[in-house]
Structure 1
C-alpha cells in the first residue's frame, strides 16, 4: 500500500495528485485482529495516517560548463514558478557532464508546441528540443519499463535518497551549484501524514546498475550520500526546510531524521499518538524507520 499509494512522484502526480490524494476510504486490519473502515468521517485518524503520451528530450549542442547545467536547472525552475507552467508536462533533469532533460507532455501537438515553446525561452540557448509522438502504452513503457511488456525493469537500485525543494525557497545559483557538486500543488501539510505539500522539485540520487553481477562497495554509497547531504545542508543554510517522499526514503536515516524529512509540522507526533492507540505493542513494526509507539 505504501509503495503504491503513498508519495511516489510520477509523470502526472503534480497534475492529478498521487494515488493517495484520490483515496476516499480504506478498510484495514488492526493489531487486535478487528477489521474497520476508515474515511474522513469514520476513524478519521486511521484514515489520515493511512496507509503519459507525448515524449520530449532536450539535448545541448555544445560542451557546456557546469554553469550551463545550473542555468538549465534554474531556467526550468523559473518556468515552473511562472504562469506559463503546465502540470501536464513532466520533466526529469539528469546530472551529467552534459546535462539533459527528458519528459512527457499529455496533450495535443498544438498544445505541446505552445507549452514547450514557453519552457525553451527559459533555457540556455544551446539546448535543443527534440520531440517524439507515442501512444499511451508506448510512453508508459519508457517511464516504467516492463509495465506493458510484463517484463523485469532493467533498473536495479543499490541505494536511493531524496529531498524536495519547496516553492517558498526555490534553488538559487549557489544551492544549484551545491546540487551539482564540484563535478504538489495545493495540498496542506496536514492533509495526510506524509508531508509533501508546496513542493517545487524532487531531487533524487540513485546508485543503480543494469546488471545483477555488478557490485558496489559500501564506500561508494558513503561517498555519494556525503555529496548529497552537502547539498541538503546548503539548502538548509539558504533558509529551506527539506522534506522527502516516503517511496524514496534514505534507508540510513535515524528515526529522528525520518520524522523531520517525512512527517514534519507535528505529523510525526500525531502519528505516534495514533500508533499508541491502535498498535501499542508495535506488532506491525518491521522496519527500523517504522513509527514507534509512545513509551508508557
Structure 2
C-alpha cells in the first residue's frame, strides 16, 4: 500500500476509523471501497492529493455532496476520493451582484444563506446535493424558467488541474474552460475549488402550491400538466411527480415569483383536472418559500433504498403510447420511492442558443427522469432491467439525457448529454487534461 507521505487535509485510508462512514453515499447503489479519502480543507490539500495519486498511479475521483447517481463516478474501488465537503466558504459581493462559493457547499444551505441576504440562486429539488457537481452539469430547478440554470449563472471558477496547478476561468481568462464548465459535467477537466455565481435580487414574497390527486387519475393529470406547464407564465416553475402504484402518490408542486391571486388564476387548468384530494396555495417570504420547498435535511444524507435513474428531454408533448409506457413502469416497479419526475422548461432555460454554453438541451418542453428503487439484492437486476427497458421504449418520443442524472447504459453518451457540443468539449479537455488523468465512466475524452 502506498504511504500517506505527501497527503494533507483529513486523510482516511481503508481500515482506519471513519472509513465506513466516509464511503457511504446518498445512493447506496454506488457505494464501493476506495483506497483512501482526502477531505480537503483548502486548495493546497487538493493539489497534494492529485500529485500523490499521479505519483502512485492511483485513479482519482472528485466528490462534493455524495449524490452521484451511477457507479464509479464519485468513488472508485482502490482509488483516491478527493472530497471537498469541508470547504464551505460563501462570500457575497453585494455591489457586484456576485457570490464566491466554495464547492463543498450543499444546495439547501447555500440557497437559504443567499435568500436570507435578499438574493435568489437556482436550486434543485434536494437540499443535500453538493454544488460542486450540480453546477457543472447544468443544474435544473424551479427557477430555471425565471433566471436560468445554475450553470447559466456561473461567471467564474477556480480549478486545480492534473499537474496540481491552479487555473482561474471567467469571461476574460480561460473562457473556453468557463464555457465547458457551464454544462460539461463534473470532474472532467480538474477539481474545482470555488465558483463565482451571478446573483439575482429575490422578491420579498413568493407563492408556492401543492396539488394531490388519486393515483389512478395519472393519465388525465399528466395530459393536462404537459399541455399547460411549458407555456405558463415564466415566473412559475412546476414539478409533477408520479410515484409507483404501490406508493400511490400523484402530486404537482411549484414556485411562483408573484402573488397568490395571480397564481390561483394560472392554476385553474390543473385544479379543474380530475378530483384533487388536496390543493394548497400560500404566499411566503422568499426565504419561507425556499424553506417550504427544500426543508433542511441531515447532510450528507442517505437514502433508504438503492436507486437506478435515467432521464430525457421532451421536445414535443408525449403521445398516448409514451404515457402507457410510463404507467407500465409505475405499475411493475415494486419500490415505494420509484417514480417519474417532470419539470417544465421554457423561459430563460430555452433562451440561449444550444452552443452558447456546454449545456445543449435548450428546446425542450419539459424534463423527465425516472428511477427504480429496491432494498433486497435479489431485486437489483429486475429493477436495473426495468429502467433500461423503459428508456428504450421511450426513445421514439424524447431526446438527449441529463448528465447530472447519468445512465451508463447509454452507449452514445456524448451525443446524449452534450448534443453537437461534444466535439468542442473534447477539444477543451485536450487543452486542460491532455493525458486524461480525470477519467471515469462516460467522462469526456481528449480530442
TM-score bracket, shorter-length normalisation? 0.7 to 0.9
Mapping of 1:173-192 within 5 angstroms? Answer: 173-181=320-328, 183=331, 184-192=349-357
Give unpaired runs (5+ residues) of structure 2.
1-131, 183-205, 332-348
Change (3 A) 1:139 1:153: farther
Structure 2 length-normalised TM: 0.54
Change (3 A) 1:260 1:216: farther
Change (3 A) 1:150 1:282: closer
* Residue in structure 2 matched with residue 56 of structure 1 by the alignment: 210
Question: How far is 1:246 from its partner?
Answer: 1.6
Question: How far is 1:90 from its partner?
Answer: 1.9
Question: How far is 1:76 from its partner?
Answer: 1.0
* Residue in structure 2 matched with residue 3 of structure 1 by the alignment: 134
- Alpha-carbon distance in structure 1 between the residues aligned to 2:275 and 2:304: 30
* Residue in structure 2 matched with residue 146 of structure 1 by the alignment: 296
Q: What is the DSSP-based 3-state SS (H/G/I as helix, E as strand, rest coil) of the residue aligned with 1:229?
A: helix
Structure 1 range deviating more: 30-39 or 197-206: 30-39
* Residue 284 of structure 1 pairs with residue 441 of structure 2: no
Contact 1:49–1:192 (8 Å) recurs in 2? yes
Q: Deviations over 1:139-196 (max 9, x none)?
A: 545644535x668365655211111112xx2212232223323742313211222222
* Residue 40 of structure 1 pairs with residue 171 of structure 2: yes
Counterpart among 159, 166, 172 of residue 319 in structure 2 = 172
User: Which of structures 1 and 2 has the larger relative contact order (alpha carbons within 8 angstroms, sep 6+)?
Assistant: 1
RMSD: 3.0
Change (3 A) 1:292 1:207: same
* Residue 103 of structure 1 pairs with residue 253 of structure 2: yes
Q: What is the DSSP-based 3-state SS (H/G/I as helix, E as strand, rest coil) of the residue aligned with 1:48?
A: helix
Mapping of 1:1-296 within 5 angstroms? Answer: 1-50=132-181, 53-60=207-214, 64=216, 68-82=217-231, 84-97=232-245, 100-106=250-256, 107-120=258-271, 123=273, 125-127=274-276, 130-133=279-282, 135=284, 139-140=289-290, 143-147=293-297, 152=301, 154=303, 156-166=305-315, 169-181=316-328, 183=331, 184-208=349-373, 215=377, 217-235=379-397, 240=398, 242-254=399-411, 257-265=412-420, 267-285=421-439, 287-294=440-447
Question: How far is 1:128 from its partner?
Answer: 5.2
Structure 1 length-normalised TM: 0.78
Contact 2:310–2:371 (8 Å) recurs in 1? yes
Give unpaired runs (5+ residues) of structure 1.
none
